[in-house]
Amino acid sequence: MDDVPTDIGEPQEIFQDAIRDIFDDPDGNYEVLDTNLSDDPFEPDITVMDADEWVFTVLCYYIEEVPSHGVLEIFPKTFGMRKWVEDSTERPAFLALGVGGTPTNPEVLYFSRFYNFPDRIFEMERNKDLMINWMRPEFFDKVIRDEFDRIYSPS
């Protein structure tokens, strides 16, 4: 793995742990099945199952400072590789993108299906609709429920 570039560091791991803790609630709607604390960009960071036994994955990325120009670079070294993480109707992949603040309490949090982040360049202002409230776990639930309703509802 020495030649595989990495976007993982201590702040990333702390942020990933904070996201995992949101889904690892024994009294909640979710169960964490697996975490990937390695630098392998081809693997999701967190695999979760909900109460209905639907499985989804979460990729986590934290950016320490809010850029004044509002343009972020997501997984600058490994974005293309991370697009290989399975994202299908059977196992949707979501991205938790924390910006500013601290890894355990980001100033801004974006959470959406990974395909809504088509490029490593991300404009914060243009993508406000992907922002959720970090302090309210039910917002994670709403994004996930809406996606599963979209996937499984008859058209």
Q: What pLDDT is attached to residue 1?
A: 44
Is residue 23 a contact partner of residue 96, using CB atoms and an 8 Å limit?
A: no
Please report, rounded to a whole number, the percentage of residues in the chain having pLDDT higher than 70: 92
Look over the chain and give the mean of its residue pLDDT values, rounded to a whole number. Answer: 87
Nearest-angstrom CA–CA distance, 77 and 55: 27
At residue 123, what are phi and psi to the nearest 5 degrees?
-95, 115
Higher-confidence residue: 60 or 1? Answer: 60
pLDDT tens, position by position, 65-103:
888 899 999 998 889 888 888 888 889 999 999 999 999
Reported as a pLDDT band with limits 50, 70 and 90, residue 133 is confident
